[in-house]
Amino acid sequence: MSMALVLLIAFVGLAFDFGRIYVARNEAQVYTAAAALTAASRLDGTLAGVQKAREAVEKLPGSWNLGTQRIKDVVVEFSSDGSAWTGAPQKDQTASRPWAYARVIAPANDLNIVFLRAVGGPANFRILARTSAQSNPVRLTE
């Protein structure tokens, strides 16, 4: 009987915690998509454009965990070719290959696990989301 109860609680935990994880992942993914488009729309190939992109992403509202928490520690990276990314572009690349790609990563959003913890599950689950976009024309690439 007690074994069955533990199993039942585990399945209830599965429904509750995985439901929250699923929603939180979707929310974070939607946010990074909006942020990547915002950053890409500000890029003009120059370092000034990169700075504008960073500022625009900082101002963009985004929430997760059923809309109750603000997405934090967002990382914005840039690339001229869509493959080599850097978080801190150092030089103006307008003449050769302009900064044309932006990638937004939300790496540090930990969701508290409620039920599964009671049956040996982890205390937190890290929600990762990442989206990249290119400018001119502005569109999502990943």
Partner 1 sequence: MLLLSLLGGAVQFGYTFYIYNQLVTAVANGGKYAARRTYRGKDVEKGAAAIRNLVVYGDPHPEGDAVPVVPNLKPENVQVKWKLSQSGAPAFVDLSIVNHRIDAVFGGISISGRPSVEFPYLGRYAPAEVEPWGADGGRIWSKQRSCCWCFSPCCWASSIVAKSCSRTRR
Based on the shown chain and the rule CB under 8 A, indicate whether residue 9 belongs to the binding site for partner 1: yes
Cα Rg, the chain, nearest whole Å:
19
CA–CA dist 43, 114 (Å, integer): 42
Please report, as residue ranges, which positions from 31 to 50 form the binding site for partner 1 (by CB under 8 A): 31, 33-34, 37-38, 41
Question: Taking the complex as a whole, how short is the minimal distance between the CB of residue 84 and partner 1, in angstroms?
Answer: 25
Residue 53 contacts residue 76 (beta carbons within 8 Å)? yes
Residue 88 contacts residue 76 (beta carbons within 8 Å)? no
Q: Among 46, 47, 52, 60, which residue interacts with partner 1 (rule: CB under 8 A)?
A: 60
Based on the shown chain and the rule CB under 8 A, indicate whether residue 6 belongs to the binding site for partner 1: no
Q: Binding pattern to partner 1, positions 70-109, x when CB under 8 A?
A: ----------------------------------------
Phi, psi of 112 (to 5 degrees): -70, 130
Pick the closest to residue 104 from 130, 81, 122 (CA basis). 130
Question: Taking the complex as a whole, how short is the minimal distance between the CB of residue 31 and partner 1, in angstroms?
Answer: 8
Question: Taking the complex as a whole, how short is the minimal distance between the CB of residue 3 and partner 1, in angstroms?
Answer: 13
Buried b (16+ CB within 10 A) or exposed e, 89-123: beeebeeeebbbbbbbbbeebebebebbeeeeeee
Question: Taking the complex as a whole, how short is the minimal distance between the CB of residue 44 and partner 1, in angstroms?
Answer: 14
Based on the shown chain and the rule CB under 8 A, indicate whether residue 22 belongs to the binding site for partner 1: yes
Which positions touch partner 1 (CB under 8 A)?
Answer: 5, 8-9, 11-12, 15-16, 19-20, 22-23, 26-27, 30-31, 33-34, 37-38, 41, 56, 60-63, 66-67, 138
